Chains A and B, each alone.
Chain A
Amino acid sequence: MERKYTILAVLLIVLALGLVVLPKKKDLKETDPKALLSAITEKSRYLSVDLVTHRIIENDPTLLLIDLRPANEFKAFALPGAINIQPDSLLSATTLELLNQPGKDKILYSNSDLMAEKAWLLGTRYSITRLYILKGGLNEWYNTIIKSGEVSSTASSADLDLMSFRNAARQYFTGAGQTSETPVATKTPAKVRVIRKAPEAKSGGGC
């Protein structure tokens, strides 16, 4: 009888030792390094400035823009609807909650691609899905949408459509085209017009 318990005790000790040598449990779910390297070689994480601009103008509800620039630059200008997240707080509980929102395309951007690329890698390592990068960053967006030049007369219809879209987008973001020469109605107080009814013929009545 006692030997039976001894065997069970030995078995439990062996299993306990197995637990000791098992790898440490990670707090956050991680993507395997080889899978992450495979994701690095894919270019589908980059979204063009034209595509992102289109989605901003369309008020796409699935779009979540993450601005990784310093707070002062974010305050000076940011893409409409963007949220400013400092890179050092990317894995904080609040940010992770935000980034793990289902049904949202999280688009990272900074001035160029560099910081967004690093943030993408870290986010993908910790299994954040639907994470993208604004290709070229805000500098590319500015050069393409805001400073887009004239199109040549020999351009294809696709190029003409693209330029037309960019011109419209520029107006959307800057109000360009609504110059100071454009007549702008000034505020005028509402006039109160008193309309007097024409005096009706008095029913004189009487004698």
Chain B
Amino acid sequence: MNPFIKSNKIWLSLLGLAIIIVFLAFVFRPKLPEYNTGTDQAMKMMIDQQNQVAISDLAGAQLIDIRTTELFAQGHAENAISIPVRNLLDDESLELFNRLLKNGQTAVLYGSDELQTVAPCLLLQQMGYTNLKTLEGGYVATNELKKPALPATEVMLLDTATMKAKKEIKVSQPEKKKPQVVIPVRKEATSGGGC
């Protein structure tokens, strides 16, 4: 046997063991949720306008209620599954999303309003669940799915004419009064008189 190995037998064995442990730990590490998209794709998902599903187009889609379990118990859409926002990345939830993705079934998230679903849906899409969409509207107090009112949409309601008024008034603001100029009339030198 090589004298180097002979003299460092224990250390080399420990080193080999450590490498094997690290390798196995890496291979069998618990799978944590991770992003499946880069910046470009994430950006495209953000500006995608086709991500919403109208209440009338829900046929064949799996509804997922992301409100609290208490609100879900008080009333929910038919055939909806309750997964509160906090639990969206739990193993069971991800298992469900994986199954729906595998089956090619669209999953539609809904909450009390549309805003509640925007961020969770975009997060899950960035993790690769591209079959997820948001509902145009939400489950309202009257125990029904309802479309949002106009102010909750990206339509501009601002009356720009009102806002321009200030500029116009600014134009007609009085200018600072210039100080009056006093021009003294120089007195001509008088002859001191004398004869």
- For residue B39, CB closer than 8 A to chain A, the reply is yes
Interface membership of chain B positions 37-48, coded 1 if the CB is closer than 8 angstroms to chain A and 0 otherwise: 001001100110
| Residues 138-187 (chain B) with a chain A CB within 8 angstroms | 151-160, 162-166, 168-170, 172-175, 177-185, 187
- The complex places the Cα of A185 from the Cα of B118 at a distance, in Å, of 53
Chain-A contact segment, one of B57-65, B73-81, B121-129: B121-129
Contact of B157 among A111, A174, A197 (CB under 8 A): A111
- For residue A113, CB closer than 8 A to chain B, the reply is yes
Contact of B119 among A40, A140, A193 (CB under 8 A): A40
Using CB atoms, name the residue of chain A closest to B193.
A205
Size class of the contact patch on chain A = 35 or more
| Residues 125-181 (chain A) with a chain B CB within 8 angstroms | 125-126, 136, 138-140, 142-143, 146, 173-176, 178
| Residues 1-28 (chain B) with a chain A CB within 8 angstroms | 2, 4-5, 12, 15, 19, 22-23, 26
- For residue A110, CB closer than 8 A to chain B, the reply is yes
A70 CB → nearest B CB, Å: 9
**Does the CB pair A190–B177 fall under 8 Å?**
yes
**Interface residues contributed by chain B, number (CB under 8 Å):** 68
**Does the CB pair B154–A176 fall under 8 Å?**
no
**Does the CB pair A21–B180 fall under 8 Å?**
no
**Does the CB pair B19–A192 fall under 8 Å?**
no
A6 CB → nearest B CB, Å: 9
Chain B residues positioned under 8 Å from A33 (CB to CB) = 32-35, 89, 123, 127
Contact of B175 among A21, A30, A114, A187 (CB under 8 A): A187
Chain B residues positioned under 8 Å from A28 (CB to CB) = 39
- Whether A175 touches B169, Cβ cut-off 8 Å, given contacts A139-B158, A200-B187, is yes
- The complex places the Cα of A112 from the Cα of B122 at a distance, in Å, of 17
- Whether A175 touches B170, Cβ cut-off 8 Å, given contacts A111-B157, A121-B123, A122-B46, is yes
B64 CB → nearest A CB, Å: 15
B109 CB → nearest A CB, Å: 12
- The complex places the Cα of A41 from the Cα of B194 at a distance, in Å, of 104
Q: A90-B46, A191-B180 are in contact. List 18 more A-B contacts (CB 8 A).
A: A3-B2, A18-B26, A28-B39, A30-B35, A33-B89, A34-B33, A40-B85, A40-B119, A40-B123, A73-B156, A87-B43, A114-B154, A118-B46, A122-B42, A142-B158, A175-B170, A190-B181, A204-B193
Q: Which residues of A contact B (CB under 8 A)?
A: 3-4, 7, 11, 14, 18, 21, 27-28, 30, 32-34, 36-37, 40-41, 69, 73, 76-77, 87-88, 90-91, 110-115, 117-122, 125-126, 136, 138-140, 142-143, 146, 173-176, 178, 184-187, 190-197, 199-200, 202-207
